[in-house]
Structure 1
């Protein structure tokens, strides 16, 4: 089809996701047609305010029309009043040869920062490979008159991505200038650590590393980058080394931060999974090499990043935790995109220190995956990628609800980055050595419809792997709940004592998770509070969130919750907000919801997951393993293991009335004559199917096959 016909097809596509997938056809048609007519058609579509979805597709199609007139249009779009058009024009330029009249627009976007600044910086980095002097002079020139410390730091960081003497000279000057702000100096020092290790640079960085401030911490890492070579693999190491990453969490062995900020179920999973992999008790071939070491990467400060390296570089087997360093307080995953360069450097340092890493397992469509995939290509590490329909499921849900339309897609995308994240999932799935998929009732159909992947085409490259939980934690918690020792439940009892005496005979409806709109906590509170009969049947316990220092997302959820139940007097109404708790504590609380707390909570409580989407559901599995009747989303992973009407209820969690009805049904079932029988049925099902050891065994086989295939490919390429 030609450009005109393909544009018409895209405009008539049934749904937002279908439209996004049509963009590839538009790009192909435009590149084939070329010429002024194609450019004119695409330029008109790009500025159509009534169809922002097609507008974005037209911008990217322009990037494949190799004609000066296409460049002219893209340069104009860099100055457009619509932020999403500027952003996608900057992205589109990354596939074209350098255009010098676009440099001013791109550097202005870097100064402005945010996700668009990251996109513009990536394009400048790509252009710097062929036109380093022009890009360096543009970045240097942009610094004139820019006083904002964060903006200056972004420009300095951009200079650090450009090869040559011009940026090196500027970086040394800024690093040594005490009048510069900390962020700019830190960016300069970090960039010097990535550059050539000459005597002048080493002397400067060494001097800065002698201090005791934040800049010294960055300098010590840079000095290590400059002077320490990549570690070789220990010759006696026979097992595999696997690295796994979740950047947006403060992951520790005790899982003390789970439930706060972005510290969700994935943090719990990675800790338990890493321990199970190195324990070697999964269902693996005993004659095959085992996983010898697991490296779990997450965020932290420069000092922690330096302190972790001895453990990372150790030749001993085990599960090591590594830190990707940032300056300043933690920020949410949605705000982390501008930290791409820092993330890349931190990941590269860890993987080099670890010696040979056999497999890098990535999950999520986030900046961690974006950066880590780049490092993996540099270091020739094969990648296993867990493919989930995210953001695809959210796009579909918002499309169905009417909150995401062609007319507002670009505006929403500017905040949510749907287009970029969907493309990132598509690229990762195509490039990965192996993909891992969550079980879903209609997996083949959903992967094709939502993500655009046909998993039947190359089935040897895909594995369906269910997540798992640590059953020993559950067993201890159930035993503690049955024993009812007050010492094991002091924190929970103190919280339950804030309830009015008249409500202490009621069972608990419990929900555990982050205070984020995707998790539906505010929706759950409204469903419970607005149903007078339900409110009189149970108290509602929300476990998650940093209540003392909430993030922007957490604050938004708390404000919405406060509209349903006044936060200051929430306990008086039966709502308990517990904040985040350690994973072991949460497991005991779930058991307490089933068995009750004498004089404080009745037995036969239930568990509620009100998520907008749930790819699988670690907390749901933990609740079912405890014997709680659950309420879960009727789409995604939970539908593969929740037996509707027996072990729980599958509902449309976006519908408050149905959610409330599901909770009432769950309470009826849990307290009914078959409650105990069905509770054991749920617990037995989880124990038999979803132990973390089973997941580890399956993944160990995947890692082994990927490592063996990579070794064959390397041998063939070297011969």
Structure 2
């Protein structure tokens, strides 16, 4: 056994009956439990994968039962089981997974540094050297070189590395350059053989210095937060959503805290992003810095592709942040490969880590995959990815100095069901429920944004797809803001608007999606909406699909629509399948709009049905249709009362100032938790 505190020392909550995922998770505290009782259906993918990953019987019949799992599934499950139990594997058992598949590779990568330390640097270095000598696969070689970098090992001499570069493909070439940078020192020029073929390679060959308007203060905590799945200043585009708005305002607020020296928000940037904006870093506000981490992709990778950039992300973040006077705490929020890469960077920088844990995809996993069959490739891929995120969340919880949660209706009890190990977090106190909040709206920006009032822009011309006509200004408005994505279900909202015939008496405004260079997901969502509107010219004219706009513009529009002097009913509606919290919903409430939000997820924590808004069932078409009719029938007095109550809820309980105070205390606690660290 590896001599470290077990990340899965638990106090259990009783699992819910008939939930195979919860039953499997309940075995985390014991080496005796088994999931053999789950194997009722040989083609039931969830049962088989859970048995493979959480079972403890070495003679598990899962590999010989009908419709067996793939060798990749079995290898991934075995690696995760070993990681959770703290079992030390032979080095060769980890080195063999360069081509097994992304999930097995990530599991092996998670185990490697600690395993290498346990076996000793000399043995690990020798094993890597031997593996590199015997592989003919560039992918395998890339994996092995990245492992050498991760454990700070030197299996290759400079001459051997240069020889390998002569035949290296792009991925291996980049790994070898990173290796040379690490082994020869940050200021040593790479060999003349290393020449760049594009701007990304130019950055990699000669990593630039951070160019900050002013040097961050050495006193006070330096806190790093991440927004790798989108841009901090482009909410609603691609993967950017409410979190980008949250982190922008939160970073600005935290930078004003007396104990905080600086806030660094990490964002990913691809080739096209650097062409559009060549800056590597800039100041968002006094003491809040944005650092753009280069990725070898046209633009920010999707969450499912982030594993391809795991090693490079870690290397870039360490390389860039070592230029700061100090880096004290990383705050990570997503359970994915990007966060695992940043956790590696935090460890290599000697930083503590705070992780915000959520029960996603845990809470819906059993229901979502109840009918997934081993013989269905598409659904199997989705199930594998969900289980991969579960493993990532477990590892981030285990590696975190402090764990925080998003407040919810069931508080820590829901988290305890899905994370039985979390009871011992924060020195046995369990996760801290950190409030979320929004920044105050600047009244001066309400009058005009970028030279034109949002209302005038919205009602510019009904012949355009991104505007309504002046003739419809007196019709009620349904407003929905968010990135165009199946999870946000804008197409379901359009279908409900049509099915209820609200298109005859109201307008629908959707705001979200990239202004240029739409992603495939955004194109598909637009296509679905277009197909729904086919043949209905009036509905098409009364629906405006605007690309994502500046947050200040959105909030100004919401205030204009909510203004009682307009005397035109307006609602904000969120049709998402789920919202962990719903920053856009809070902003609409704060603006004075009556809102409707999902009855599951995080929104019910602050929205009480019939008191300060409406909760509706977003999982069924009938639920959205019923909710729209209900909102439309509200008398004016009731509608305005809901809006006023919602506004008061946000103003009293969901300010970014309160959120910053609680998180600053968590960051101080994280530093105090490490012996010998100065929390100042």
TM (normalized to structure 1)? 0.77
Q: Which residue of 2 aligns with 1:242?
A: 223
Find the aligned partners of 1:96 and 1:697 in 2 and give their Cα distance. 41
How far the C-alpha of 1:638 sits from its partner, in A, is 1.6
- Aligned CA distance change for structure 1 residues 17 and 64 (closer, same or farther; 3 Å): closer
Q: Which residue of 1 aligns with 2:628?
A: 663
Q: Which residue of 2 aligns with 1:544?
A: 512
Q: Is the 8 Å Cα contact of residues 44 and 371 (structure 2) preserved in structure 1?
A: no
Per the alignment, in what secondary structure is the counterpart of residue 478 of structure 2?
Answer: strand
Q: Which residue of 1 aligns with 2:352?
A: 382
How far the C-alpha of 1:643 sits from its partner, in A, is 3.0
Per the alignment, in what secondary structure is the counterpart of residue 519 of structure 1?
Answer: coil
Find the aligned partners of 1:261 and 1:687 in 2 and give their Cα distance. 30
Find the aligned partners of 1:569 and 1:596 in 2 and give their Cα distance. 31
Q: Which residue of 1 aligns with 2:665?
A: 701
How far the C-alpha of 1:137 sits from its partner, in A, is 4.1
Q: How do 1:486-525 residues align onto structure 2 when only pairs under 5 Å count?
A: 487-494=453-460, 498=464, 499=468, 503-525=472-494
Per the alignment, in what secondary structure is the counterpart of residue 550 of structure 1?
Answer: coil
Q: Is the 8 Å Cα contact of residues 80 and 391 (structure 2) preserved in structure 1?
A: no
How far the C-alpha of 1:549 sits from its partner, in A, is 2.9
Find the aligned partners of 1:433 and 1:665 in 2 and give their Cα distance. 46
- Aligned CA distance change for structure 1 residues 116 and 527 (closer, same or farther; 3 Å): farther
Which of 469, 477, 481 is the equivalent residue of 2:438?
469
Gaps of 5+ in 2: 1-13
Residue 49 (1) aligns with residue 62 (2): no
Q: Is the 8 Å Cα contact of residues 402 and 426 (structure 2) preserved in structure 1?
A: no
Which of 162, 179, 184 is the equivalent residue of 1:172?
162
Q: How do 1:147-162 residues align onto structure 2 when only pairs under 5 Å count?
A: 157=146
Q: Is the 8 Å Cα contact of residues 336 and 367 (structure 1) preserved in structure 2?
A: yes
Per the alignment, in what secondary structure is the counterpart of residue 190 of structure 2?
Answer: helix
- Aligned CA distance change for structure 1 residues 595 and 62 (closer, same or farther; 3 Å): closer
Q: Which residue of 2 aligns with 1:258?
A: 235
Q: Deviations over 1:244-292 (max 9, x none)?
A: 11211122xxx2x211111111111111001111223xxxxxxxx5212
How far the C-alpha of 1:425 sits from its partner, in A, is 2.3
Per the alignment, in what secondary structure is the counterpart of residue 248 of structure 2?
Answer: helix
Which of 296, 300, 323 is the equivalent residue of 1:353?
323
Q: Is the 8 Å Cα contact of residues 353 and 401 (structure 2) preserved in structure 1?
A: yes
Q: Which residue of 2 aligns with 1:363?
A: 333
Q: How do 1:68-83 residues align onto structure 2 when only pairs under 5 Å count?
A: 81=70, 83=72
Comparing 116-125 with 413-422, greater Cα deviation is found at 116-125
Q: Which residue of 1 aligns with 2:268?
A: 299
Per the alignment, in what secondary structure is the counterpart of residue 322 of structure 2?
Answer: helix
Q: Which residue of 2 aligns with 1:286?
A: none
Comparing 611-620 with 551-560, greater Cα deviation is found at 551-560
How far the C-alpha of 1:633 sits from its partner, in A, is 1.0
Q: Is the 8 Å Cα contact of residues 402 and 425 (structure 2) preserved in structure 1?
A: no
Comparing 51-60 with 537-546, greater Cα deviation is found at 51-60
Q: Deviations over 1:14-39 (max 9, x none)?
A: 11431331442674447xxxxxxxxx
How far the C-alpha of 1:681 sits from its partner, in A, is 2.8
Q: Is the 8 Å Cα contact of residues 544 and 579 (structure 1) preserved in structure 2?
A: yes
- Aligned CA distance change for structure 1 residues 514 and 310 (closer, same or farther; 3 Å): closer
How far the C-alpha of 1:409 sits from its partner, in A, is 11
How far the C-alpha of 1:446 sits from its partner, in A, is 1.7
Q: Which residue of 2 aligns with 1:276?
A: 253
Q: Is the 8 Å Cα contact of residues 508 and 542 (structure 2) preserved in structure 1?
A: yes
Q: How do 1:400-415 residues align onto structure 2 when only pairs under 5 Å count?
A: 402=370, 412=380
Higher helix share: 1
- Aligned CA distance change for structure 1 residues 383 and 457 (closer, same or farther; 3 Å): closer
TM (normalized to structure 2)? 0.81
Q: Which residue of 1 aligns with 2:89?
A: 97
Q: Is the 8 Å Cα contact of residues 107 and 142 (structure 1) preserved in structure 2?
A: no
- Aligned CA distance change for structure 1 residues 173 and 203 (closer, same or farther; 3 Å): farther
Q: Is the 8 Å Cα contact of residues 254 and 660 (structure 2) preserved in structure 1?
A: yes
Q: Deviations over 1:356-378 (max 9, x none)?
A: 22222111101222122223233
How far the C-alpha of 1:607 sits from its partner, in A, is 0.8
Residue 625 (1) aligns with residue 595 (2): no
Gaps of 5+ in 1: 1-9, 31-40, 226-232, 281-288
Find the aligned partners of 2:142 and 2:535 in 1 and give their Cα distance. 40
The Cα RMSD (Å) is 4.5
- Aligned CA distance change for structure 1 residues 220 and 170 (closer, same or farther; 3 Å): same
Q: Deviations over 1:410-443 (max 9, x none)?
A: 9536565222322332343344232222221221
Q: Is the 8 Å Cα contact of residues 221 and 261 (structure 2) preserved in structure 1?
A: yes
Q: Is the 8 Å Cα contact of residues 412 and 431 (structure 2) preserved in structure 1?
A: no
